[in-house]
Amino acid sequence: MINVMIVSRQEAAIRALRHFISEDPELEVSADSRGGESALEKVETVAPDVLIIWADENDPDAINLAERIILRKPRTFVILLVPELSIDIYTAAANAGCHNVFPYPDEGKELTDLIHRVYNAESGRLSALTTNQRVTWTSRVLTVFGAKGGLGKTTMSVNLAMKLASMKKKVAIVDLDLQFGDVHIFMDMDPKDTISDLMQDMANPTIDTIRSYMTVHPSGVHVLCAPKSPEYADLVSAEKLQTVLGLLRSYYDFVIIDTAANFTDPIITALEASTTILFLTGLDVSILKNSKVAMSILESLGQKKKVRAVINRAVEINSITIADVQRIVDAPILSRIPSDYMMAVAALNRGQPFVQSAPRSKLSLAVSDMAEKLAEGKDNFDMQQLSARERKAMMRKYRTRDASEKKGLFGRR
Ligand SMILES: Nc1ncnc2c1ncn2[C@@H]1O[C@H](COP(=O)(O)OP(=O)(O)O)[C@@H](O)[C@H]1O
Ligand SMILES: [Mg+2]
């Protein structure tokens, strides 16, 4: 049974659609709505398989609603019915992420066939993108954050992005180190426009507006570069940034945000908009002290649950162990990246990220492993939900010296 919800400002249209759909035994109308906020709420509670939006002649709300549902409820497939197809409508719908736009159907059979067709096509797409039975196709916003400069945030952002792009994902990087951003240096690019230019063109932005300010790297990664000079940083407002991130999310599979080590308004906005915060940390007391403070701020911002720790330059020195990091940072550890200064700096100076120039190096393999986990949604692990076997494997991976350390490792989640 396919559950359908209908949205239209016209009572008569709702009645007609209900009637058409009732003729098909495999379809059921589980709700309808006259639009607006209440439509959104209903979709939240009903979670229909298919949402039909019957748009009027001049109905920007319809596209707006489609966009919000597509972003929030990727399992609800949206069909937009319009009085007449035009390039303008098509473009507006596509920009909103809606590709199922059709003219009003003439008869019941046309409508029910359409519903089946869209449902089958979209479910097919969904399962094609499913790995290990986990649905991971909704776009992800990854903020690479850390409590100090020089931790390797930009190194990780850039190499992760490249690796994900090589896995056929659509990837964007936003350089939010607004004063001294250097993603373009790592990637050997000479940006024409930057995020500060975009900020001055935000009257009516679409994803195309934003993309026109991005720089394309040969790997396929698109970068919204940091301002050319620190004084332009102030042009980036939290509010506009939020709009930008929302639109980027509608287009890219992964939006990777590189940051500076501070809690400015734009960075807080990014943290809040993230699906995952990759929190870089390391094995020295100064980094750990700052990491602890930063984690408590993240907790007070209500963002702690999304944090996955990444330990960079993870050489075990006797004094500080991975277990200590786990205890202090108090977040699941997603990855441990080995230290290889020669490789990291050579790649930086050449402007060619190591996952590309030296894909078999230990450094690249560790970043690639992290990218694969992220692409497969395996970073969303919750210890309680892992099977006993998976839990054991995880324990083995992060084995520490004695039982008391293990307790610290897995006790508090
Ligand atoms: N795993 C690593 N091993 C060795 N050096 C690294 C590693 N990760 C990053 N680096 C180096 O550390 C320096 C700072 O890295 P960067 O990514 O610019 O940090 P951040 O963006 O946090 O300020 C760079 O010279 C980089 O090449
Ligand atoms: Mg940096």
Q: Are residues 206 and 96 in the same domain?
A: no
> Which tops the pLDDT comparison, 113 or 68?
113
Distance, CA 121 to ligand 2 centroid (Å)?
A: 42
Q: Are residues 123 and 63 in the same domain?
A: yes
Q: Are residues 65 and 187 in the same domain?
A: no
Asked whether residue 389 is domain-assigned, the answer is: no
Are 279 and 296 in contact by the 8 Å Cβ rule? The answer is: no
Q: Are residues 151 and 104 in the same domain?
A: no
Task: Say which ligand is closest to the CA of 347.
Answer: 1
d(Cα 373, Cα 394) in Å, to the nearest integer? 13
The neighbour count for residue 8, using CB atoms within 10 Å, is 24
Residue among 144, 155, 312 whose CB has most ligand 1 atoms within 8 A, to mutate:
155
Indicate which atom in ligand 1 lies nearest the CA of residue 363.
Answer: 1
Residue in this structure with the two tokens 């590709």, named with its chain if needed? 99
Asked whether residue 134 is domain-assigned, the answer is: no
Residue among 183, 256, 335, 341 whose CB has most ligand 1 atoms within 8 A, to mutate:
341
Q: Read off the amino acid at residue 12.
A: A
Are 63 and 93 in contact by the 8 Å Cβ rule? The answer is: yes
Which pair of tokens denotes residue 136?
Answer: 């991971």
Task: Encode pLDDT of 304-315 as tens digits.
Answer: 999 999 999 987
Angle 23-24-30 from CA coordinates, rounded to 5°: 95
Phi first, then psi: give them for residue 223, nearest 5 degrees.
Answer: -125, 130
Q: Are residues 106 and 150 in the same domain?
A: no
d(Cα 168, Cα 155) in Å, to the nearest integer? 21
Tell me the pLDDT band of 411, cut-offs 50, 70 and 90.
Answer: very low
Residue 125: is its pLDDT beyond 80? no
Instruction: Taking residues 296-324, report their average pLDDT.
Output: 87
**pLDDT at residue number 407:** 40
Asked whether residue 385 is domain-assigned, the answer is: no
Q: Are residues 170 and 283 in the same domain?
A: yes
Residue 44: is its pLDDT beyond 90? no
> Which tops the pLDDT comparison, 137 or 207?
207
Residue 149 CB–ligand 1 contact under 6 Å: yes
Tell me the pLDDT band of 93, cut-offs 50, 70 and 90.
Answer: confident
CA 116 to chain centre: 29
Q: What 8-state DSSP symbol labels residue 200?
A: T
d(Cα 329, Cα 322) in Å, to the nearest integer? 10
Indicate which atom in ligand 1 lies nearest the CA of residue 158.
Answer: 17
Instruction: Taking residues 345-365, report their average pLDDT.
Output: 96
Distance, CA 23 to ligand 1 centroid (Å)?
A: 63
Residue in this structure with the two tokens 């960079």, named with its chain if needed? 312
Instruction: Taking residues 360-388, report their average pLDDT.
Output: 80
> Which tops the pLDDT comparison, 411 or 14?
14
d(Cα 40, Cα 72) in Å, to the nearest integer? 10
Task: Say which ligand is closest to the CA of 335.
Answer: 1
User: 39-48, 167-176, 218-227: lowest mean pLDDT where?
Assistant: 39-48
CA dihedral for 317, 319, 323, 328, sign (positive or negative)? negative
Domain endpoint, select from 79, 108, 128: 128
Q: Are residues 120 and 148 in the same domain?
A: no
**pLDDT at residue number 139:** 86
Q: What is the CATH number of the domain that holds 255?
A: 3.40.50.300
* Terminal alpha carbon distance of the chain: 39
Task: Encode pLDDT of 157-189 as tens digits.
Answer: 999 999 999 998 999 999 999 999 999 999 999
Residue 149: is its pLDDT beyond 90? yes
Mean pLDDT of the chain: 87
Distance, CA 120 to ligand 1 centroid (Å)?
A: 46
Count up the domains in the chain and report the number.
2
Residue 222: is its pLDDT beyond 80? yes
Residue 6: is its pLDDT beyond 70? yes
Distance, CA 154 to ligand 2 centroid (Å)?
A: 4
The neighbour count for residue 370, using CB atoms within 10 Å, is 24
Distance, CA 230 to ligand 2 centroid (Å)?
A: 14
Q: How far is CA 281 from each of CA 249, 322, 344, 362, rounded to the nearest angstrom? A: 26, 11, 17, 19
Tell me the pLDDT band of 410, cut-offs 50, 70 and 90.
Answer: very low
Report the length, in residues, of the chain: 413
Residue 134: is its pLDDT beyond 60? no
Indicate which atom in ligand 1 lies nearest the CA of residue 148.
Answer: 22
d(Cα 73, Cα 93) in Å, to the nearest integer? 16
Q: Let me know if 104 is exposed, middle or buried by CB neighbors in 10 A (0-12, 13-18, 19+).
A: middle
Residue in this structure with the two tokens 């009003």, named with its chain if needed? 104
d(Cα 311, Cα 316) in Å, to the nearest integer? 11
Asked whether residue 413 is domain-assigned, the answer is: no
The neighbour count for residue 270, using CB atoms within 10 Å, is 26
Distance, CA 300 to ligand 2 centroid (Å)?
A: 25
Ligand 1, atom 8, lies closest to the CA of 152
Task: Say which ligand is closest to the CA of 150.
Answer: 1
337-346 long-range CB contacts below 8 Å, 24 or more apart? 337/152, 337/156, 337/310, 337/311, 337/312, 337/313, 337/363, 337/366, 337/367, 337/370, 338/313, 338/314, 338/362, 338/363, 338/366, 339/312, 339/313, 339/314, 339/315, 344/152, 344/155
Distance, CA 154 to ligand 1 centroid (Å)?
A: 7
Indicate which atom in ligand 1 lies nearest the CA of residue 157.
Answer: 17
Q: Are residues 258 and 347 in the same domain?
A: yes
Q: Are residues 159 and 47 in the same domain?
A: no
Residue 403: is its pLDDT beyond 90? no
Indicate which atom in ligand 1 lies nearest the CA of residue 313.
Answer: 1
Residue 317 structural domain: 140-380
Q: What is the CATH number of the domain that holds 37?
A: 3.40.50.2300
Task: Encode pLDDT of 65-83 as tens digits.
Answer: 998 888 878 889 999 999 9
> Which tops the pLDDT comparison, 391 or 359?
359
Q: Are residues 104 and 144 in the same domain?
A: no
**pLDDT at residue number 383:** 43
Q: What 3-state class would DSSP assign to 168? A: coil
Which pair of tokens denotes residue 325?
Answer: 């990091």
Q: Are residues 112 and 150 in the same domain?
A: no
Residue 59: is its pLDDT beyond 90? no
Asked whether residue 115 is domain-assigned, the answer is: yes
Asked whether residue 388 is domain-assigned, the answer is: no
Tell me the pLDDT band of 395, cut-offs 50, 70 and 90.
Answer: low
Asked whether residue 27 is domain-assigned, the answer is: yes
Tell me the pLDDT band of 405, cut-offs 50, 70 and 90.
Answer: very low
Instruction: Taking residues 194-214, report their average pLDDT.
Output: 93
Ligand 1, atom 5, lies closest to the CA of 341
Asked whether residue 155 is domain-assigned, the answer is: yes
Distance, CA 235 to ligand 1 centroid (Å)?
A: 28
Q: Are residues 149 and 93 in the same domain?
A: no
The percentage of residues in the chain with a pLDDT greater than 90, rounded to a whole number, is 67
